[in-house]
Amino acid sequence: MDLTALGAAIAAFTGIGAGIGIGIATAKAVDAVARQPEASSKIMTLLILGGALAEATAIYGMIVALLIIFA
C-alpha cells in the first residue's frame, strides 16, 4: 500500500487547524474590542500578528504535503 497520499493528507490538515485557530482568534478579538473599544489598535495589531503566524503554519503544511507528493 502506498502511504504517500496518506502522508500528504495528514500534512494538509494543518490548513484546517490554522483556519480554526484564526476563527477563534478573530472571535476573541471582536469580543475584546466590544469590551474595550479604546484598546482596539493594540488588539488588532496582535490579531494580525497571530493570524500571520497561523497562516505560516498552514503554508508550511502545504509545502510539506507537496514535497511528500512530488519528491
Reported as a single tens digit per residue, the pLDDT across 38-66 is 999 999 999 999 999 989 999 998 999 88
pLDDT tens digit string along 13-37?
888 888 999 999 999 999 999 999 9
- Torsion angles phi and psi, residue 45, rounded to 5: -60, -45
Matching CATH number, 1-68, of 3.90.1150.10, 1.20.20.10, 3.50.50.60, 2.40.50.1020: 1.20.20.10
Confidence (pLDDT) at 32: 95
Per-residue 3-state assignment (H helix, E strand, C coil) for the chain: CCCHHHHHHHHHCHHHHHHHHHHHHHHHHHHHHHHCHHHHHHHHHHHHHHHHHHHHHHHHHHHHHHHHHHC
Query: Positive or negative CA dihedral for 8, 14, 19, 20?
Result: positive
Domain ranges across the chain: 1-68
